[in-house]
Amino acid sequence: MKINKLTAFPIVILLLLGLQTRQTKAQVKVIDQIVAIVGKNIILESEIEAQYLQYRMQQGIQGSEETVKCQILEDVLYQKLLLNQAQVDSIEITDNEVEQSMDQRLRYFIGQIGSAEKLEEYYNKSILEIKEEMREPIREQMMVERAQQEITGNVTITPSEVKQFYKNMPKDSIPRINSEVEIGQIVKMPKVGIEVKSEIRTKMENIRNRVLEGESFKTMAILYSEDPGSAKKGGEIGLAGRGELYPEFEAVAFKLDEGEISDIVETKAGFHIIQLIDRKGDYVNVRHILLRIKPSPYELMEAQAYLDSIADIIQQDSLNFEEAAMKFSDDPSKNNGGLIVNPMTGTTKFQTDQIDPQLFFVIDKLEVGELSEPVLFENEEGKQGYRILYLKNRTEPHIANLKDDYNVIQEWALSKKKSEVVDKWVKEKIDDAYIKIIDEFQSCNYYYKWANEEL
């Protein structure tokens, strides 16, 4: 377990927010006491025990219990030092910022455990009580993140520093870069005709009528809903707050009474009918049935033929791929020369294991500079369309070098420079801050010299 001084500690489960689970209570008996003080912020033994249990559950034991707890304490000391600085600098986090972050975390927790009801049952607390206990820890975490950003946010690196960083790397420790590709696309999303749209709406009306006549909403969702995430759960989407759903969907969902069935609602995704399961303040849990507004086979064929003609234009050198993407593509990637951006890195480079298997199946057969045939696909909203793919570049696995991997090496060099800035900052602030640690943790082999006195 290594302290990450460049990333503010993530709260990944409610244990780290002070919400003890029944499992924790059963396995760990905590006699709470203050183990350290940083400024006016205390660190309790229960915090260390809770994080130790989480570490043991996730990673197994690596090192002795004493060693691991010392490492955890040093990590928490670092966070408290940042929090102390945020307080000294009067960094403020608004209530709205806290609420948004809290809602996001709750959605994650609920998604992990299955439903809001299961979360409430597990912690024996209502959602409102859970939120109340989360509020201040989240505010503090956001203050820590803001303080850390102020320390490293302005750190930049020059090309000469990047080159020097690479030059100083031991030759036998320079990382190996896997094969990477850059992929372009030109997308055609067929327009759905009025008649097709009308047919889908009529189908939804029939489903709604069957539900109103007494058939199970859950069963109808399993049979007919085209939302794969919720259909298998009888249409239930789980707890959602304001601003998380399509505006048209949300406007209706928050007005329903418990058990009430909505009229047909149209969103970007298609046609829905909604049933309210429960409402808790600014959160609703609903079931829905979705029928997507899909183009007809003829409309899809038109899109395919359209892209065939675009490919001909490119292959005849009348336009290059980037110009054609800008002029003809229906996807925002056209503003980037048609290149697809890797959401994991923010760059246009993908390692092969980062590519969707269906996309990889097409790209793997192309030579660099070659176009694919038009291929059918679904966008993020589940809408069908066609696209032609372009393999702009493919690299072979190799040892990192400045010519081919400058951006990657630049990130490594910048990360090291930020780490050095943080190291310097911590050493300076330790001397200025009031820090005390109990005798039990005085003998830890810390990276920093945290305290000369015991509590």
pLDDT in tens, 17-44: 445 444 444 444 446 899 999 999 999 9
pLDDT on residue 61 = 58
Q: Indicate if the pLDDT at residue 218 is higher than 90.
A: yes
Instruction: Order the strands of the 435-437 sheet from edge to edge.
Output: 41-44, 34-38, 435-437
224 and 363 inside one domain: no
Domain membership of residue 3 (yes or no) is: no
Q: Indicate if the pLDDT at residue 368 is higher than 90.
A: yes
385 and 424 inside one domain: no
282 and 318 inside one domain: no
pLDDT on residue 11 = 35
pLDDT on residue 156 = 95
Token pair for 324: 């054609």
pLDDT on residue 15 = 40
User: Which band of pLDDT confidence, cut at 50, 70 and 90, is reported for residue 155?
Assistant: very high
Percentage of residues in the chain with pLDDT exceeding 90? Answer: 63
Mean pLDDT of the 263-271 span: 93
Beta bridge partners of 182: 349, 393
52 and 40 inside one domain: yes
pLDDT on residue 225 = 96
In the block, tokens 């709205």 appear at: 96
3-class SS of residue 269: coil
Mean pLDDT of the 210-214 span: 95
Of residues 430, 410, 441, 435, the one with CA closest to residue 5 = 430
Q: How far is CA 189 from CA 301, 383, 447, in A?
A: 11, 8, 56
Write out the H or E segment, with its range, that includes residue 35.
Answer: strand 34-38
Q: Indicate if the pLDDT at residue 236 is higher than 50.
A: yes
Give me the domain span that covers residue 217.
Answer: 194-292
Answer yes or no: are the C-beta atoms of 227 and 288 closer than 8 Å: yes
Q: Which of 59-68, 311-320, 322-331 has the lowest mean pLDDT?
A: 59-68
Cα–Cα distance between 381 and 249 in angstroms, integer? Answer: 15
3-class SS of residue 176: strand
Domain membership of residue 148 (yes or no) is: yes
Token pair for 124: 């024996």
Domain membership of residue 409 (yes or no) is: no
Write out the H or E segment, with its range, that includes residue 293.
Answer: none
Would the CA dihedral through 66, 68, 72, 74 be positive or negative?
Answer: positive
Q: Indicate if the pLDDT at residue 453 is higher than 50.
A: yes
Domain membership of residue 167 (yes or no) is: no
Domain membership of residue 405 (yes or no) is: no
Highest average pLDDT, of 106-120, 273-287, 386-400, comes from 386-400
The tally of CA atoms less than 13 A away on the side-chain side of residue 256 is 26
User: Which band of pLDDT confidence, cut at 50, 70 and 90, is reported for residue 454?
Assistant: low
| DSSP-derived pairing of the beta strands 180-188 and 384-394 | antiparallel
Q: Indicate if the pLDDT at residue 250 is higher than 90.
A: yes
Write out the H or E segment, with its range, that includes residue 240.
Answer: strand 236-241
Residue 189 backbone phi and psi in degrees, to 5 = -100, 115
Residue 120, sorted as left (phi over 0), alpha (psi -120 to 50) or beta, turns out to be: alpha
Under 8 Å CB-to-CB from 95, ≥6 apart: which residues? none
Domain membership of residue 164 (yes or no) is: no
Mean pLDDT of the 359-374 span: 94
203 and 269 inside one domain: yes
Cα–Cα distance between 375 and 361 in angstroms, integer? Answer: 11
DSSP 416-448: HHHHHHHHHHHHHHHHHS-EEE-GGGTTS--SS
In the block, tokens 């503003």 appear at: 335
Q: How far is CA 124 from CA 19, 99, 127, 322, 383, in A?
A: 10, 22, 10, 57, 41
288 and 303 inside one domain: no
| DSSP-derived pairing of the beta strands 349-351 and 180-188 | antiparallel
pLDDT on residue 103 = 83
Radius of gyration of the chain (CA): 28
Mean pLDDT of the 166-181 span: 92
362 and 309 inside one domain: yes
Q: How many domains does the chain have?
A: 3
Chain CA centroid to CA 78, Å: 25
User: Which band of pLDDT confidence, cut at 50, 70 and 90, is reported for residue 117?
Assistant: confident
Token pair for 376: 């059918």
Cα–Cα distance between 353 and 183 in angstroms, integer? Answer: 14
User: Which band of pLDDT confidence, cut at 50, 70 and 90, is reported for residue 243?
Assistant: confident
Q: Where are the beta strands (DSSP E) in 297-434?
A: 349-351, 375-378, 384-394, 398-399
198 and 326 inside one domain: no
Q: Indicate if the pLDDT at residue 121 is higher than 90.
A: no
Cα–Cα distance between 155 and 419 in angstroms, integer? Answer: 10
CATH number for position 344: 3.10.50.40
87 and 130 inside one domain: yes
Domain membership of residue 1 (yes or no) is: no
187 and 210 inside one domain: no
pLDDT on residue 328 = 96
Q: Which amino acid is at 310?
A: I
Q: Which of 262, 292, 322 is the last residue of a domain?
A: 292
Domain membership of residue 271 (yes or no) is: yes
CATH number for position 48: 1.10.4030.10
Under 8 Å CB-to-CB from 52, ≥6 apart: which residues? 65, 68, 69, 72
225 and 138 inside one domain: no
Token pair for 146: 């803001």
144 and 23 inside one domain: yes
Under 8 Å CB-to-CB from 361, ≥6 apart: which residues? none
Mean pLDDT of the 256-265 span: 95
